[in-house]
């Protein structure tokens, strides 16, 4: 097994050299990464097909282009994002300048997931490197083809003293977590998230945890049903539903439930044809364990569309299930597959009350044309991020932070928000020594009246 302690010492020495603090150096590293991504884009697409049978469009549009967009955004804006920020100083301090400096943490560990293995690695990785850190990346062993290509890209683009990818299983990950990193980012499930958080706590290491959860898709009676159905189907069934921010379930107003279900059926057929299994645009479940878990979730309620499975191909068709309640097994865990349960509500106040009692989701989607309904949900329900009359698009916008809240994780990244996350904000006040003595120096007797006049108006 690779000696992780020696590797970290090598990265710490490189960080201590000060090279990564140079913005020009960081930009050059990002350009090298972009060049390798472009050179190896076909390897990326091929590996995604082998692990998940992602279509060429999904692989290129949701992974390759998203990586390049993230890199381009960082290169174009890095100097502005990392420039020290001037902030006001209280008048009481006399002639003083206050400034916030963005300082890299040092060594960052990124523990990657398998469902969008490239973009969910490169979005935080680009930010960590852009902020001036050295990085260790551990791809997910659950997707072996993409893990190999991801490691190849990173290790081709960088010297290991700056950034390195390590392919390892559970044992290797456990050993990595014993090391003292300066920052850890983990994307994946809640159970492993707890393990990561506990390991980080041993060294008081700050973390970002992106953990998923049950993201609701709320359809108000004022929604455009046909348009909403297309958007919901895209967000739910892309990557065979294996998306951390996919709509986990539909919660629809009782007056439009049946029209919505019919529109969803029609849209699925329009997307994938009558024989979904032979569609080049529909993927497969990552492995047998997840396939069997999803099969178990289909046993309750009433399947009103889909339900076909093929264990040899790890295929599960887009499936809509009616007759689901909060007590159903499928509502007790994140689905992470192409199964869409449907529940009904009578008024949005019921939705707000119920969601406020449940764990906070990573995403929330609302379909409505009523501004009052929109404001009610956004202002009264806590969730990581989301969309109105769309799905998934918020996480593709590099100008928006992406992350969870509460049970769905903490911390965020993407674009400039990655710089915020992977940098220590160091506040510095610089006061002119030639200025008069501060009115907070003793003896205090002559200063009390002045301070009370300023702060109390007395």
Provide the annotated active-site residues: 210, 244
β-pairing, 207-210 with 409-410?
antiparallel
Residue 102 falls in which region: left (phi positive, over 0), alpha (psi -120 to 50) or beta? beta
- Compute the distance between CA of residue 267 and CA of residue 257 in angstroms, rounded to an integer: 15
CA distance 65 to 192: 29
Residue found under tokens 């953990």 = 211
- Residue 334 near residue 193 (C-beta atoms within 8 A): no
Q: Provide the 3-class DSSP secondary structure of residue 97.
A: strand
For residue 382, give both structure tokens. Answer: 């806590």
How far, in Å, CA of 233 to CA of 272, rounded? 11
**Cβ burial 8-45 (10 Å sphere, 16+ → b, else e):** bebbbebbeeeebeeeeebbebbeebbebbeebbebbb
Distances (CA, A) of 259 to 128, 252, 254: 46, 10, 10
Retrieve residue 371's tokens. Answer: 């501004």
Give the C-alpha separation, 42 to 427, whole Å.
Answer: 45
- The residue with tokens 């951390």 is 244
Structure tokens at 175: 């050993």
Measured distance CA(231)–CA(251) in Å, rounded: 15
How far lies 122's CA from each of 110, 134, 226, 258, 261, in Å?
10, 14, 35, 41, 37
Helix (H, G, I), strand (E, B) or coil at 109: strand
String of DSSP letters for 54-85? --HHHHIIIIIHHHHHHHHHHHHHHHHHHSPE
Spatial separation of the C-alpha atoms in residues 41 and 64, rounded to whole Å: 7
Query: Is 245 within 8 Å of 216 (Cβ atoms)?
Result: no
Residue with tokens 């002045």, as numbered in its chain: 450
With H, G, I as helix, E, B as strand and everything else as coil, classify residue 369.
coil
The answer to whether 240 and 342 have CB atoms below 8 angstroms apart is no
């Amino acid at each position: 097994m690779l000696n992780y302690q020696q590797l970290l010492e090598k990265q710490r020495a490189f960080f201590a050299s000060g090279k990564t603090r140079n913005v020009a150096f960081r930009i050059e590293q990002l350009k090298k990464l972009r060049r390798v991504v472009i050179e190896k884009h076909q390897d990326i697409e091929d590996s995604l097909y082998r692990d998940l049978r992602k279509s060429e469009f999904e692989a290129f549009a949701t992974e390759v282009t998203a990586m390049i967009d993230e890199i381009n955004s960082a290169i174009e804006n890095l100097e502005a994002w990392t420039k020290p920020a001037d902030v006001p100083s209280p008048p009481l301090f006399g002639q003083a300048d206050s400034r916030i400096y963005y300082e890299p943490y040092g060594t960052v560990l990124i523990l990657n997931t398998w469902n969008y293995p490239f973009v969910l690695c490169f979005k935080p990785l680009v930010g960590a490197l852009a902020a001036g850190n050295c990085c260790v990346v551990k791809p997910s062993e659950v997707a072996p083809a993409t893990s190999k290509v991801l490691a190849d890209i990173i290790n081709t683009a960088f010297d290991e003293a700056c950034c390195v990818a390590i392919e390892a299983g559970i044992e290797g990950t456990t050993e990595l977590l014993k090391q003292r990193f300066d920052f850890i980012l983990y994307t994946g499930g809640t159970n492993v998230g707890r393990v990561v958080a506990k390991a980080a706590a041993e060294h008081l290491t700050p973390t970002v945890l992106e953990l998923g959860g049950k993201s609701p898709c709320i359809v108000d009676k004022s929604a455009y049903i046909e348009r909403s159905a297309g958007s919901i189907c895209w967000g739910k069934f892309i990557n065979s539903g294996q998306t951390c921010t996919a709509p986990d379930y539909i919660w629809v107003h009782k007056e439009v439930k049946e029209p919505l279900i019919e529109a969803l059926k029609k849209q699925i057929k329009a997307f994938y044809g009558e024989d979904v299994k032979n569609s080049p645009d529909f993927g497969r479940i990552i492995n047998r364990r997840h396939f069997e878990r999803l099969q178990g979730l289909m046993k309750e309620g009433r399947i009103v569309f889909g339900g076909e499975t093929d264990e040899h191909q790890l295929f599960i068709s887009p499936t809509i299930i009616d007759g689901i309640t909060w007590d159903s097994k499928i509502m007790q865990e994140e689905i992470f597959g192409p199964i869409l349960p449907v529940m009904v509500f009578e008024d949005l106040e019921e939705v707000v009350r119920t969601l406020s009692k449940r764990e906070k989701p990573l995403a929330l989607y609302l379909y409505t044309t009523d501004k009052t309904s929109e404001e009610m949900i956004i202002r009264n329900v806590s969730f990581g991020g989301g969309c109105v009359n769309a799905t998934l698009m918020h996480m593709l916008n590099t100008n928006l932070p992406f992350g969870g809240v509460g049970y769905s994780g903490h911390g965020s990244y993407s674009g400039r928000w990655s710089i915020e996350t992977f940098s220590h904000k160091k506040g510095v006040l610089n006061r002119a020594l030639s200025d008069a003595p501060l009115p907070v120096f003793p003896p205090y007797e002559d200063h009390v009246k002045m301070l009370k006049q300023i702060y109390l108006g007395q």
